[in-house]
Amino acid sequence: MKPPAFDYIAATSVEDAVAALARSEGEGKLIAGGQSLMPMLNFRLAGPAVLIDVGRIAGLDGIEETDEGLTVGALARHAALETSPGVAKHLPVLAEAMRHVAHLAIRNRGTIGGSLSHADPAAELPLMAVLLDAVLHITGPEESREVPAEEFFIGALTTDLEDEEMVTAVTFPYLPAGCGWGFEEVSRRSGDFALAAAAATLSFEGSVISEARLAVTGVDDLPLRISEAEEGLMGGELTEEKISAAAESVQASVNPNSDAQASADYRRHLIGVLTARVLRAAAARATGGGL
Amino acid sequence: MSGKHRLQLRVNGVAHDREVEPRLLLSDFLRDELDLTGTHVGCEHGVCGACTVLLNGDSVRSCLCLAIQAEGSEVTTVEGLGSVDQLNSLQEKFREHHALQCGFCTPGMLMTATDLLSKNKQMSDEELREGLSGNLCRCTGYEHIVSAVRAAFADKGGDGS
């Protein structure tokens, strides 16, 4: 239960970090909070030749309100999002989701960039990024680029990141005025990974749904938006029939695993129940409409 | 570079200047290099919470942190709270409320509770239990630990209910 030996570099800037990654020729790994990587090192599931510590790079932990949305630096901690007034004001669904991330000591140390890059298929932050149409800011040795969250996540622990790139920030567009939201998760114990989790946002014009977003996690290799269910919700009131149809659509779209925690059938059952709950919660919170 | 790196930090207010291997865990640094064996090592993969310490005032798992990552930081361990002869107020509450049996989880519980007490004016029982949920105890059934921390909150002005 001790990490294997590795070379260690404390990067002083993003440029420094990606240059070190490029020099490591695929054998390097970034570490920040280390809350996913350290257990893998302790178990020796990971054995990088060189560990590049980005945790001391200055100015990467901000939470800024910009015209495009809330831009969160890669080194911001989960606990900072959980308690940020800007998050509470513009993205309350994100604050709620953060309360479900592991435990206090993990949230105090785990970083936003780390969670997104790790891409655990049951983690809350990737779900939020996909739900909220977040954009990831990525820097490599040659250039910087921006990638929508839905394109960033490719599979379990697999992202669009190249070996020599790092996530530097993520921008969450603000929820539209009057938009309602819901987040629901079931785990075996408080702080455990989600057996299944769902999140939704609904906007209404009068009693008519004008925008619907629905995303789920823990029930496939990556967090998924369920566009078929979203389309079915649009253009009328939120009825029990629509809720049932959305839940069935979600259950048909996902491909859950069986493991020691729960069977695939149970996860599929759960995600249908949670889908109905988040839609009802979103409608109840929305202004100008709802059940 | 896999050789030793210089590590300067403060632990319980005392400055240390050492050379460490980069793979050395903060928990092992505290226990083996500084002889601060109050920090207990349980699971070594971030599940049990026994090794919780404060890093610049925030509770963290010292088994999920490299010692070298604490460069320039202020670390507080259970030895920084009180002494055997002079328990601090939280430790007194643990004794009064019989919040420990074997004591293995107690340092981690105390450090987590210290974090909660420093950042919250008062906490509901539900919030308290959620706050302590990252620390496993196999003896007490948690009731007396919650009682002790609730009492510590009551003492500082909030009613803790």
Domains parsed from chain A with CATH numbers: 7-52 (3.30.43.10), 63-172 (3.30.465.10), 180-285 (3.30.390.50)
Q: Hey, how many other C-beta atoms are within 10 angstroms of the C-beta on B7?
A: 23
Q: Which of B17, B45, B49, B47 is nearest to B33 (CA)?
A: B17
pLDDT of residue A6: 97
Q: Token pair 């960033």 is at which residue? A: A152
pLDDT of residue B156: 87
Q: Do B2 and A6 touch (CB under 8 A)?
A: yes
Q: Minimal Cα distance from B109: which residue of A? A: A105
What the block records as the tokens of B150 is: 């609730």
pLDDT value at B22 more than 90? yes
Q: Do B68 and A39 touch (CB under 8 A)?
A: no
pLDDT tens for each residue of B88-128: 999 999 999 999 999 999 999 999 999 999 999 999 999 99
What the block records as the tokens of B73 is: 């930081």
Distance separating alpha carbons of residues A128 and A135, to the nearest angstrom: 11
User: How close B5 gets to chain A, by Cα (Å)?
Assistant: 9
Contacts of A8 (CB under 8 A, 6+ apart): A50, A51, A53, B1, B2, B5, B22, B66, B68
pLDDT value at B1 more than 60? no
Angle at the Cα of A175 from the Cα atoms of A170 and A180, rounded to 5 degrees: 135
What the block records as the tokens of B3 is: 């050789």
pLDDT of residue B54: 98
Distance separating alpha carbons of residues A198 and A219, to the nearest angstrom: 10
Q: Count Cα neighbours of A181 within 13 Å in the Cβ-side half-sphere.
A: 21
Select the residue from B7, B39, B69 to test the A interface by mutation, using most A Cβ atoms within 10 A.
B69
Beginning with the edge strand found earlier in the chain, give each strand of the sheet holding A28-31 in spatial order: A7-10, A50-53, A28-31
Report yes or no: B55 at the A interface, CB cutoff 8 Å: yes
pLDDT tens for each residue of A24-73: 999 999 999 999 999 999 999 999 999 999 999 999 999 999 999 999 99
* Amino acid symbol at B8: Q
pLDDT of residue A291: 45
Strand ranges inside chain A, DSSP E? 7-10, 28-31, 50-53, 63-65, 70-73, 135-139, 144-148, 153-155, 158-159, 166-172, 180-186, 196-205, 208-217, 224-225
Q: From chain A, pick out residues whose CB is under 8 angstroms from the CB of B116.
A: 104
pLDDT of residue A288: 59
ipTM of the complex: 0.95
pLDDT of residue B13: 98
Q: For A38, which of B64, B133, B134 is closest by C-beta distance?
A: B64
Interface list for A 168-207 with B (CB within 8 A): 189-191
Q: Do A103 and B2 touch (CB under 8 A)?
A: no
Q: From chain B, pick out residues whose CB is under 8 angstroms from the CB of A10.
A: 68, 71
Report yes or no: A139 at the B interface, CB cutoff 8 Å: no
Contacts of B44 (CB under 8 A, 6+ apart): A1, A2, A42, B25, B27, B51, B63
> Parallel, antiparallel, or unpaired for β A28-31 and A50-53?
parallel
Report yes or no: A23 at the B interface, CB cutoff 8 Å: no
Q: Do B2 and A8 touch (CB under 8 A)?
A: yes
Q: Do B71 and A191 touch (CB under 8 A)?
A: no
Q: For A190, which of B61, B69, B130 is closest by C-beta distance?
A: B130
Q: Count Cα neighbours of A108 within 13 Å in the Cβ-side half-sphere.
A: 23
pLDDT value at B161 more than 90? no
Domains of chain B (ranges, CATH numbers): 5-79 (3.10.20.30), 89-155 (1.10.150.120)
With a cut of 50, list the residues of chain A below it in pLDDT: 289-291
CA B151 to chain CA mean position, Å: 19
Report yes or no: A42 at the B interface, CB cutoff 8 Å: yes
Mean pLDDT, chain A, rounded, equals 96
3-state class (DSSP) for residue A170: strand
Q: Which of B27, B100, B93 is nearest to B63 (CA)?
A: B27
Q: From chain A, pick out residues whose CB is under 8 angstroms from the CB of B25.
A: 2-3, 42
* Amino acid symbol at A181: W
